[in-house]
């Protein structure tokens, strides 16, 4: 006798559990009402106490519901059932691009086709103001006919909307992040283009050039690599793809392509969504190759001219920056206030032991003069900060954690500021002693205050007119210490507001009964 299959949420007949952990699961299932296979994702909100995880789950459903494109996985249904959230997706029988890269000897035509489909999906998402933020081979699905679909929009961001993880959040897969992602900068669609550039590199070379032994090593590789030498590693790929790759992997977003559509216009093969075996299309292949060769010659000439012009622009801008720095430092020398004398001590020390930091402050000639004029006893400063921060010494930005080596400073007292766009600033004074290492370890999470809202029956919570969500919350609201106006709204009751003060490391309990006048 065949055992009846499990029915979940009243309409999903479970065929197989594909993945499961303490809080969530992914199933292959039959949709009882639609009569077809689907992929079912579920999240238990009672065991998943992390409010951010719940919000990301809901966000993925909301975002994918906005996107209907042949190169993006489609949402069929989403909702709640008791303590569960669930999403059902179209069933796309496929493997990840990671598997395809490892196990298939892809032809150039097949690689071109896959790239065209990837950038079509990205172009459509970006046109709808969606940044994926986690482009990598594991999130790109390919079937046996080489149809491609983008998946896993759990970290995606709608531009100009305020989600749990905003435009300045450090989220994603480390070795596929853009430099601005690693540094916690503002993100645009160009961060996806950088990640897609890594996928392009991997498709042709079989490995990720930014993969390190740990997260910090991957971050350092992304921030410190020489973008002008990337072409040296891919000399064997066609010229047009090498130039596309160089432009996608520019460190500065402004120097990358303007959009995924711009990349599509340069790809030699992007009109079809499927690809046949090459031996089934000999005549079309000959025609494509002839057009490709002609296109490469013309495109290469144009791109080489553009690259030359860009290098000239960068060279001119760099010379202007150096000249500007010299003017600034000369100006500082004219006004030797006490604060500037302290600043000059920082610059002198950095010129001796930390050239990279030193160059960020003044020109080499100026530093050399200081070194020759004054020799100081030095100590070292080691900074460890979670999750990461920009480091300021006496108001000058000198590093971004994690730092690769200790900061060398003359003996004395210094003002230290650690700054992260999503955390309160940490400010302290340190005393550097000659021949000793001063350690500074900071967890920025400890700088927050918290608001625990007990609202009856329920309410939308606004802090300084910004909506924080609807009660009941899974956990207290995390917020920078300070004074705020809190407003509670429920369409069935009178809106209530009150001024509150949140203190660092403390939880403020707010209890409001909207039924009371």
Q: What whole-number distance in Å separates Cα of residue 288 and Cα of residue 267?
A: 12
Query: For the chain, how big is the Rg over CA atoms in Å?
Result: 28
Looking at mean pLDDT, say which of 202-211, 336-345, 354-363, 439-448 comes out highest: 202-211
pLDDT of residue 64: 84
Kindly tell me the burial class for residue 489, based on how many C-beta atoms sit within 10 Å of its own C-beta (0-12, 13-18, 19 or more).
middle
Q: Is pLDDT at 11 greater than 80 in this prediction?
A: yes
SS (H, E, C) 455-472: EECCCEEEECCEEEEECC
Q: How confident is the model at residue 262 (pLDDT cuts 50, 70, 90)?
A: very high
CB-CB contact of 438 with 382 (8 Å): yes
Q: Examine the domain organization and report whether 118 and 223 are in the same domain.
A: yes
Q: Is pLDDT at 349 greater than 70 in this prediction?
A: no
493 assigned to some structural domain = yes
CB-CB contact of 396 with 387 (8 Å): no
Q: Which two tokens stand for residue 40?
A: 């079912």
378 assigned to some structural domain = yes
Q: What range does the domain containing 465 cover?
A: 448-513
Mean pLDDT of 372-380: 66
Per mean pLDDT, which range of 19-33, 218-232, 316-330 is the poorest?
A: 316-330
Q: Examine the domain organization and report whether 431 and 475 are in the same domain.
A: no
220 assigned to some structural domain = yes
Q: Is 294 helix (H, G, I), strand (E, B) or coil?
A: helix
Q: Examine the domain organization and report whether 434 and 386 are in the same domain.
A: yes
Q: Where are the beta strands (DSSP E) in 402-448?
A: 407-410, 412-419, 426-432, 437-443
Q: Which two tokens stand for residue 185?
A: 């900068």
Backbone torsion region of residue 436, taken as left when φ is above 0, otherwise alpha when ψ lies between -120 and 50, otherwise beta: beta
Q: What whole-number distance in Å separates Cα of residue 434 and Cα of residue 280?
A: 75
249 assigned to some structural domain = yes
CB-CB contact of 344 with 332 (8 Å): yes
H or E element in which residue 358 lies: helix 355-359
Q: What whole-number distance in Å separates Cα of residue 154 and Cα of residue 163?
A: 12
Higher pLDDT: 164 or 71? It is 71
Last residue of a domain, one of 90, 114, 140: 90
Q: Examine the domain organization and report whether 178 and 34 are in the same domain.
A: no
Higher pLDDT: 366 or 242? It is 242
Mean pLDDT of 463-488: 89
329 assigned to some structural domain = no
Q: Which two tokens stand for residue 216?
A: 């910090």
CB-CB contact of 68 with 74 (8 Å): yes
CB-CB contact of 259 with 80 (8 Å): no
Residues 97-131 have pLDDT tens digits of 999 999 888 999 999 999 999 999 999 999 999 99
The Cβ of residue 308 has, within 10 Å, a number of other Cβ atoms equal to 10
Q: How confident is the model at residue 87 (pLDDT cuts 50, 70, 90)?
A: very high
Mean pLDDT of 486-504: 92
Q: Is 397 helix (H, G, I), strand (E, B) or coil?
A: strand
Name residues whose C-beta falls within 8 Å of residue 373's C-beta, 6 or more positions apart in sequence: none
CB-CB contact of 431 with 438 (8 Å): yes
Q: Is pLDDT at 346 greater than 50 in this prediction?
A: no
Q: How confident is the model at residue 240 (pLDDT cuts 50, 70, 90)?
A: confident
CB-CB contact of 223 with 215 (8 Å): no
pLDDT of residue 237: 86
Last residue of a domain, one of 43, 69, 90: 90
Q: Examine the domain organization and report whether 170 and 254 are in the same domain.
A: yes
CATH number for 176: 1.10.510.10
Kindly give the pairing relationship between strand 437-443 and strand 378-386.
parallel
Q: How confident is the model at residue 413 (pLDDT cuts 50, 70, 90)?
A: very high
Please report how the helices 108-127 and 190-205 are oriented relative to each other, as an axis angle in degrees rounded to 10.
Answer: 170
261 assigned to some structural domain = yes
294 assigned to some structural domain = yes
What are φ and ψ of residue 220, in 5° steps? Answer: -60, -40
Looking at mean pLDDT, say which of 7-11, 324-328, 398-402 comes out highest: 7-11
The Cβ of residue 417 has, within 10 Å, a number of other Cβ atoms equal to 17
Q: Is pLDDT at 375 greater than 50 in this prediction?
A: no
Strand partners, 150: 72, 140
Q: What percent of the chain has pLDDT over 70?
A: 75
pLDDT of residue 227: 84
Q: Examine the domain organization and report whether 137 and 179 are in the same domain.
A: yes
Q: What whole-number distance in Å separates Cα of residue 391 and Cα of residue 417?
A: 6
Integer CA distances (angstroms), 508 to 83, 448, 454, 501, 503, in order:
28, 12, 11, 8, 8
SS (H, E, C) 257-270: CCCHHHHHHHCCCC
Integer CA distances (angstroms), 453 to 362, 461, 470, 508, in order:
50, 9, 10, 8
Q: Examine the domain organization and report whether 240 and 197 are in the same domain.
A: yes
Q: What whole-number distance in Å separates Cα of residue 349 and Cα of residue 35?
A: 72
Q: How confident is the model at residue 167 (pLDDT cuts 50, 70, 90)?
A: very low
Q: How confident is the model at residue 149 (pLDDT cuts 50, 70, 90)?
A: very high
- Residue 424 gets which letter from DSSP? P
Q: How confident is the model at residue 59 (pLDDT cuts 50, 70, 90)?
A: confident
Q: Examine the domain organization and report whether 382 and 362 are in the same domain.
A: yes
Q: Examine the domain organization and report whether 303 and 427 are in the same domain.
A: no
H or E element in which residue 175 lies: none
pLDDT of residue 417: 93
Residues 282-334 have pLDDT tens digits of 444 445 555 555 565 556 666 666 656 655 555 554 554 444 444 333 434 44
Catalytic residues: 134
pLDDT of residue 216: 86
CATH number for 31: 3.30.200.20
Name residues whose C-beta falls within 8 Å of residue 298's C-beta, 6 or more positions apart in sequence: none
pLDDT of residue 319: 53
pLDDT of residue 302: 60
Number of domains the chain contains: 4
Mean pLDDT of 62-81: 88
* Mean model confidence pLDDT for the chain: 79
Strand partners, 428: 416
CB hemisphere CA count around 456 (13 angstroms): 6
Q: What whole-number distance in Å separates Cα of residue 190 and Cα of residue 126?
A: 9
Q: Examine the domain organization and report whether 26 and 77 are in the same domain.
A: yes
Integer CA distances (angstroms), 360 to 12, 64, 344, 354, 396, in order:
59, 43, 14, 10, 9
Q: Examine the domain organization and report whether 395 and 490 are in the same domain.
A: no
Mean pLDDT of 340-363: 45
Q: Is pLDDT at 464 greater than 60 in this prediction?
A: yes
The maximal CA–CA distance of the chain, rounded, in angstroms, is 94
pLDDT of residue 283: 47
CB-CB contact of 129 with 158 (8 Å): yes
46 assigned to some structural domain = yes
Q: Is pLDDT at 68 greater than 70 in this prediction?
A: yes
Last residue of a domain, one of 63, 90, 117: 90
Higher pLDDT: 451 or 314? It is 451
Helices assigned H by DSSP within 206-354:
215-224, 239-248, 260-266, 282-334, 338-353
Q: Examine the domain organization and report whether 130 and 53 are in the same domain.
A: no
């Amino acid at each position: 006798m065949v055992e009846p299959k499990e029915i979940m949420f009243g309409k999903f007949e479970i065929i197989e559990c594909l993945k499961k952990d303490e809080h969530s699961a992914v199933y292959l299932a039959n949709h009882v009402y639609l009569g077809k296979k689907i992929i079912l994702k579920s999240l238990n909100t009672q065991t998943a106490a992390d409010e951010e995880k719940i919000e990301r789950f809901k966000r993925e459903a909301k975002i994918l519901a906005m996107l209907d494109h042949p190169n993006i996985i489609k949402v069929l249904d989403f909702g709640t059932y008791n303590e569960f959230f669930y999403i059902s997706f179209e069933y796309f029988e496929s493997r990840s691009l990671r598997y395809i890269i490892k196990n298939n000897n892809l032809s150039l035509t097949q690689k071109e086709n896959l790239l065209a489909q990837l950038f079509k999906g990205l172009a459509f998402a970006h046109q709808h103001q969606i940044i994926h933020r986690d482009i990598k081979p594991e999130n790109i699905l390919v079937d046996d006919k080489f149809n491609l679909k983008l998946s896993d929009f759990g970290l995606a961001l709608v531009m100009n909307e305020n989600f749990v993880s905003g435009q300045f959040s450090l989220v994603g897969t480390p070795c596929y992040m853009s430099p601005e992602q690693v540094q916690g900068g503002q993100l645009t669609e160009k961060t996806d283009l950088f990640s897609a550039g890594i996928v392009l590199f991997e498709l042709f070379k079989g490995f990720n050039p930014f993969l390190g032994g740990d997260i910090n090593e991957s971050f350092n590789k992304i921030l410190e690599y020489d973008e002008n030498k990337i072409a040296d590693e891919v000399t064997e790929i066609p010229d047009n793809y090498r130039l596309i790759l160089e432009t996608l992997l520019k460190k500065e977003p402004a120097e990358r392509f303007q959009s995924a559509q711009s990349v599509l216009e340069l790809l030699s093969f992007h009109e079809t969504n499927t690809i046949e075996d090459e031996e089934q299309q000999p005549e079309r292949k000959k025609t494509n190759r002839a057009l490709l060769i002609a296109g490469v010659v013309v495109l290469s000439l144009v791109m080489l001219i553009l690259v030359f012009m860009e290098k000239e622009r960068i060279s001119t801008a760099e010379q202007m920056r150096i000249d500007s720095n010299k003017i600034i430092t000369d100006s500082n020398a004219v006004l030797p206030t006490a604060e500037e004398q302290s600043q000059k001590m920082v610059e002198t020390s950095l010129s001796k032991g930390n050239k990279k930091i030193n160059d960020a402050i003044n020109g080499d000639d100026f530093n050399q003069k200081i070194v020759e004029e004054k020799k100081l006893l030095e100590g070292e400063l080691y900074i460890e900060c979670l999750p990461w921060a920009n480091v300021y010494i006496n108001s000058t930005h000198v590093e971004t954690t994690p730092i690769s080596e200790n900061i060398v400073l003359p003996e004395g007292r210094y003002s230290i500021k650690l700054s992260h766009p999503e955390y309160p600033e940490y400010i302290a004074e340190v005393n550097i002693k000659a021949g000793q290492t001063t350690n500074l370890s900071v967890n920025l999470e400890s700088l927050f205050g918290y608001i625990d809202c007990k609202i009856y029956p329920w309410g939308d919570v606004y802090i300084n007119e910004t909506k924080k969500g609807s009660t009941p919350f899974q956990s207290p609201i995390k917020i920078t210490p300070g004074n705020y106006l809190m407003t509670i709204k429920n369409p069935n009751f009178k809106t209530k507001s009150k001024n509150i003060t949140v203190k660092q490391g403390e939880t403020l309990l707010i209890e409001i009964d909207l039924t009371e006048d």
